[in-house]
Chain A
Amino acid sequence: DQQVKQNSPSLSVQEGRISILNCDYTNSMFDYFLWYKKYPAEGPTFLISISSIKDKNEDGRFTVFLNKSAKHLSLHIVPSQPGDSAVYFCAARAAGNKLTFGGGTRVLVKP
């Protein structure tokens, strides 16, 4: 039973447009959420995070939105660039330090 789900395995977007990645979770004990980006043959790298006490966090072109009542978060990338083509993982943390990851969304940004 996956506690963190990314229902879209892939996403294709034109360069310059917005990319929206979605993530749903079931465990109400999660209090911190992260997005990781992964290029082929590399390890995931941290992108952006949000605490459960906030509903939005912004870092440059990347914004994460959290809707606690819906147990849903999303990552917006504006504008999308070809270098953003990667797999994006949503992750959530409950008490302790362990992360639970979603299945990932592969993003392709077309020039």
Chain B
Amino acid sequence: NAGVTQTPKFRVLKTGQSMTLLCAQDMNHEYMYWYRQDPGMGLRLIHYSVGEGTTAKGEVPDGYNVSRLKKQNFLLGLESAAPSQTSVYFCASNQRIDTQYFGPGTRLTVL
């Protein structure tokens, strides 16, 4: 039981490049979330999903897109990366009102 896994762990992009972050969970959770963590800002919700095939905007969705084609996977896409998107990205999942379980994070640097 791996819990929540994230791919990749680290990535360096140039401004304007695109990439996709993959989150996978093996706990059959309905809800999945993408957060970014910046110094002093805590974790801010980017997008979330309440079930397969659904997505919704969080607090800071601009510049990101997401897809939840399979229940166990939640993808976060950056179409045209900007230096302001340099951050640590965390994926989380839970089953409705249960506590959220987090992945280990992806450290992204945009030059």
Q: Which residues of A contact B (CB under 8 A)?
A: 4, 6, 9, 34, 36, 41-46, 49, 89, 91, 97-104
Q: Which residues of B contact A (CB under 8 A)?
A: 4, 31, 33, 35, 40-45, 48, 50, 58-59, 90, 92, 94, 96-97, 99-105
| A9: B residues at CB distance < 8 A | 40
CB within 8 Å: A-B pair count: 52
Give the docked Cα–Cα distance between A64 and B90 (Å): 25
Least CB distance from B31 to A in Å reads 6
Give the docked Cα–Cα distance between A69 and B105 (Å): 36
* B104-A104 in contact (CB<8A): no
* B42-A101 in contact (CB<8A): yes
| B90: A residues at CB distance < 8 A | 43-44
Give the docked Cα–Cα distance between A98 and B99 (Å): 10
| A97: B residues at CB distance < 8 A | 31, 48, 50, 94, 96-97
* B99-A34 in contact (CB<8A): yes
* B105-A42 in contact (CB<8A): yes
A-B contact pairs, 28 of them (CB 8 A): A4-B42, A6-B42, A42-B105, A43-B4, A43-B90, A43-B92, A43-B102, A43-B104, A44-B43, A44-B90, A45-B102, A46-B100, A49-B99, A91-B43, A97-B31, A97-B50, A97-B94, A97-B96, A97-B97, A98-B45, A98-B58, A99-B45, A100-B59, A101-B44, A103-B40, A103-B42, A104-B40, A104-B42
